[in-house]
Each structure stands twice: as C-alpha cells, then as structure tokens.
Amino acid sequence: MQTQPMWIGGRWLPARSGRSFATINPATGERVGEVALAGADDVDAAVAAALAALPAWSRTSQAERSRVLARFAASIREHAEAIAQLESIEHGTPISDARHIVAWAADLVEYTASVSRSLMGSHVPTQPGVVSYLQRVPVGVCALITPWNVPFIMMAVKLAPALATGNTCVMKPPSVNSLTGLKFAKLVAALELPPGTVNIVTGPGGSVGTALASHPDVDLVGFTGSTETGRSIMAAASPTIKKLVMELGGKNPFIILPDADLDRAAKLLAFRQFNNAGQHCSSPGRYYVHASVHDAFVERLVAAARGVAVGDPSDPKTAMGPLVSAEHRAHVERCIASGLADGARLACGGQRPSAPALQAGFFLEPTVLVDVRHEMAVARDEIFGPVACVLRYESDDEVLRQANDSDYGLCAGVFTRDVAKGLRMAGELRAGSVFVNTHMLTPEMPWGGGIKQSGLGKEGSIVGLEEFTELKLICVEIT
C-alpha cells in the first residue's frame, strides 16, 4: 500500500524519517491507507515554509483572499461525494450524515469568504490634530490542530478564518482521519496559493502537535480536543507566550422543566446525543429532568434511543455508525461500567450490537443511564460517546446549582413552554452557549469555550474571524 505524502512548502513530501502509519476503517477494523509519519524535522520545514510565505500572503488584499476561499468552497462542493465517502470509510460516519457534513463545511467557507470583507478596525478619538485608529492585522503563523470527531468540518472551521485574515498555516489533521486530512490538502493544493501558505503534516498529537505548539516561529495555536490535551498545549506554548484559540471538553447540562414539550425534547436531544455515535463536544452530557416528568421523559428518550438504526456507515438507512477506534470504545465502556458500579441503572443499551456483520467494527448500542446522581463520575466527566446520563431534580435552585457545579462550561440547554423563564435560567447558566427549546449551530453563530475549562476564544461568525487577528494601534500627528 503506497504511503500518502504530506503537503509542505507547495510540494508533496514523504516524512524525512521515511516512517509511516496506517489508518483504520472503524466499521470493519481493516486498514484503509498508509500515511507519512511526521517528525520534528518535518514540522520545522512546514513552519519555515509558512513563515517565508507570510509577508506575501498577509499583503494580499482582503478581496483576493475572499475570492480564494470562495474557490475553495466551490471545490469542496465539486468533490463532495468523494469527500463524504472517504469520511464514511475512515471515520465511520453514516454516509447520509457525511454528505451533510461536507455541505456544511462548504457553507462555512463561503460564509467566511463573504463576512471577512466586513472585518474592520475602529477610530480612536484623542485630540485635535491627531488621527488614531485600531487596525486588525494577521497574527502570523498559525498551527491548526484539528480533532477526529467531525474531521472535514473542523479543518474548514480553522483554516478558513486563518487564511481570510492573512495568516499562513501549518495544519495537523487527526491521526485516525489522516487520509481525510490529505484529501483536504489536495483541494488546498489546487488553489495554487503562494508556496508555504498552507502546509499539512500528519502524525500523532503527542509528537507533531507538541512540536507545533512549542515551536518558536508559531504565533497562534488553534486546537479542538480534550481539556487534558489543551493543558499540555498551553504548557508547550507558554515559553513563547502564543495566542491560543481552543475549544476543549464539555459536560453539557440540559434541563427539562415540568412544562416542557417532552416529545420534542426527547426527539431533538436523542438526535444530538446519538448522532456521530455521541462524538460531539456539543452533545448533551447531563439531562436534569424534573421529578414530576422524569419517568415520562425517560420513556420517550429510551424509545428514541431504541429507534436509532446502528449499522454499516455506507448504508443510507444507518443513523449511527461505530465509534472512532477500539480504544475509544473501551473508554466509553469503562465509563458505563463506572456508572453502574456507582449505582446508576441501564434503561437501554450499554452493550455491543449482536449482529454478526458488526462484530469486527467498534460499535456500541445507544445507551441511556438513569438513577444517575450528581456526584457520580459519569455525571461529571466527559464520556464523548452514545451515552445519555439522566438525573432527577426537584427545584430550580437545585438544578441551577448542580448544572453550574462543573469544571466545564461549553454549552447548556433549557426546555420549557415558558420562554421568559427559559431566558431567565439561560442567564444563570455558566456556559458559552445556551439553547432554549432548541439545539443548533450555523456558521453565523460563534461557538467555543471561554467558560472555565472548556477553552479559550470562539470559532465561527465574525467573532471567530477576529480571534485570528491582532489589534494594532496607529497614531498619527497630522498638524
């Protein structure tokens, strides 16, 4: 099987060590491809190429950078089916979801291309005879370290704003989705940017990601992943005081008030919980359900979970594919076992599917845990899998206190027919995003951490563009 090279300095290059690693189909356990294994020398070469390309790319007009991104979005649409098929094979995404993911990535790049032309500085009033203003300028060389849960979208989320604002980049796609990352690189290569504007290196986060985060010529690290890895990146970046934009872990509380539309809440939250096998940072991590409607809600949630079609990702009828790896499935199974040992109860799922065709893959049934208590590890730690943890509460004060008693603050939700009360509770919840009677994201919405250990900064919208700039003060005496 031929080793796929990396994109560095406008050329396709093997790892200098000659080493490589395999990517695996999580639905079958079979090897999909062989990818170059980058080392510190390859990272140095990629960063040097990005640094050399920075003066030319940062001087490119905003209009031209926006046109480049518009061409990139068009290229994504042109190759959408091939990208979706690869993501389905390499990540286990159901093909119907994979097609939606690719379309969403193209939408996001198109949005960034258009909104970036509205990014402006501001006048600073001082005194007569002096003109003073703030100008938004590129940060410099950006290291973009992307996660494995929705790989193609997350590469687009990070690359589009970095390029739009005049930065050059070194991207490290997730190891388990490296072929998807290199397909992304082929679309970038076809844009014929100045050599070194975008570089894509493949390899594990522990070596390649750390080398990027600690590199003295990297000015910004954009990272999405676990809080634990985020801490390591902060430590590696700290000697050179880099700018960090990081979306980290979450254990997101969703509150079901007594007057909630239980059918709608269960249907919507079950989709968000079990889509992508629960491997979404925005998935509901904790369901706080009022005692008066607890049993009725659980009945609906269990029915929704049992209705999820688990199977071959290439089948259009499949709603949930495998988890990304054997190691990650083992982690999720340990979390379930921990909850049961602490006194939680399985309402459904918790096992590997029995269908013979699924035995070789990393599948797990949609799972609902009930009788979960706030102090349990399953109620406090991120599981990142198809596991709904349901807790019972009695009063508004109690549920708000418990919802906020977490190391995380990524997102939260409230379901109620009393929208005014929902908004009041939204104001009390310590989370970067709060959803009332819905759970959705669009390119116009800023998303990310900024609350407790869920990260730093935002992605998406014009707010996310601003994260990839610095504000420069310019003051001119004109008399």
Q: Is 281 a catalytic residue?
A: yes
Q: Which H or E run includes 467?
A: helix 461-467
CB 202 within 8 A of CB 180: no
Q: Is 365 a catalytic residue?
A: no
Residue 349: both structure tokens together: 């799922």
**What count of other Cβ atoms lies within 10 Å of the Cβ of residue 319?**
17
Q: Is 247 a catalytic residue?
A: yes
Output the CA torsion sign for 207, 209, 214, 215.
positive
CA-to-CA distance for 411 and 440, rounded, in angstroms? 11
Q: Which letter, b or e, does each residue of 293-307 get, where b requires 16 or more Cβ atoms within 10 Å of its Cβ?
A: bbeebbebbbebbee
Output the CA torsion sign for 166, 168, 173, 179.
positive
Give me the sheet containing 387-393, strands edge to edge. 345-348, 367-370, 387-393, 284-290, 252-256, 411-415, 433-436
Q: Which residues have C-beta within 8 Å of that of residue 65, sequence separation ≥ 6?
A: 57, 116, 163, 164, 165, 166
Catalytic residue among 90, 110, 247, 333: 247
**What count of other Cβ atoms lies within 10 Å of the Cβ of residue 42?**
25
Residue 238: both structure tokens together: 């700290």
- Where are the alpha helices (H) located in 60-150, listed in sequence order? 62-78, 80-91, 95-115
Catalytic residue among 142, 158, 242, 348: 158
Concatenated DSSP letters of 169-228: EEEE--GGGHHHHHHHHHHHHTT-PSTTSEEE--S-IIIIIHHHHH-TT--EEEEES-HH
Q: Is 467 a catalytic residue?
A: no
**What count of other Cβ atoms lies within 10 Å of the Cβ of residue 282?**
18
Paired with 253 in beta bridges are 286
CA-to-CA distance for 86 and 475, rounded, in angstroms? 52
Active-site annotation, residues: 158, 247, 281, 459
